[in-house]
Amino acid sequence: MSKLIQAINVMVANESKIGRVTPGKESKEVFFVYDKKHVWSMAKQDSGMKMWYYPSGINNFEHLVNARNDEWEHMQMVYYSEEEFATREAKESVDELYRIVREKQYGMDEVFNDIFSSDETF
């Protein structure tokens, strides 16, 4: 198993450490911060899942989220494409992380907690 998939599995297992989930201004990417310091983004595209890591870190988060298309060629990033997610296990892991990130984007944790609290038997 690649280190990337291991890292994805750790993020999935520790989803409470995923925060600041924000859609990109000019892209279909969803940006997020893991453990208050590691900035990532993900996008589900016709050609498959894409994922990026931004070594500039948390101090550059707002700039990354709001970057214009013409600014990306100057950004430092590590890019992962569908080839890294070719095995069944890898695909399941990245799909699970994407689901978690999207749910956090829309505040689903709070929605679920509200629903759970409305049930006296839960």
pLDDT of 67-80, one tens digit each?
888 888 888 999 99
- CA pair distance 20, 68, nearest whole angstrom: 20
**Residue 49 CB partners (closer than 8 Å, separation 6+):** 42, 43, 82, 85, 91, 94, 95, 98
Query: What would the DSSP string read from start to end of 23-42?
Result: E-SSSS-EEEEETTTEEEEE
- pLDDT at position 58 is 82
Percent with pLDDT over 90 in the chain: 64
Query: What would the DSSP string read from start to end of 49-107?
Result: EEEEEETT-GGGHHHHHT--GGGGGG---EEE-GGGG-SHHHHHHHHHHHHHHHHHHTT
Mean pLDDT, 10 residues at a time, over the chain (122 residues)? 92 97 87 96 91 90 89 91 91 96 92 88 68
